[in-house]
Structure 1
């Protein structure tokens, strides 16, 4: 069974939320029914199907951000929040 395609906002909307150093704050909901990124009230919200075990949800968020921005996942780095819902990523442009 194929994985359903994630609901992603335009890359420009995601990039607009990053600061001048490429840092991006994300609020994560692990264990969701579907994967999606959404911009709400000037914040980026990520929903991923992966459970928060062994960093799987963090990897899923990184992959989702990379897909939304059209980058390789290796160019998205988790800076803070490995065990928190509030995370900060750095985007290597």
Structure 2
């Protein structure tokens, strides 16, 4: 444990941010996984709604600095591509 007051505060702050980032990143991964599973089903409308929610979470993660903008764009693009393939089948 650090002795200097500012270093003690930095340790507390860092731990708090790390925990918050971890939970937000976990929620993001869960949303993307749910969107992937929804696309594998047959319900187009349900998949569309779930993908829209995942896209919103991805955009939010970019603004908070959790994910790089190109990574988020890549994930959104892949989800949209799968949704379009599902729409074409039905």
TM-score with structure 2 length normalisation? Answer: 0.29
- Larger C-alpha radius of gyration, 1 or 2? 2
TM-score with structure 1 length normalisation? Answer: 0.28
- Larger strand proportion, structure 1 or 2? 1
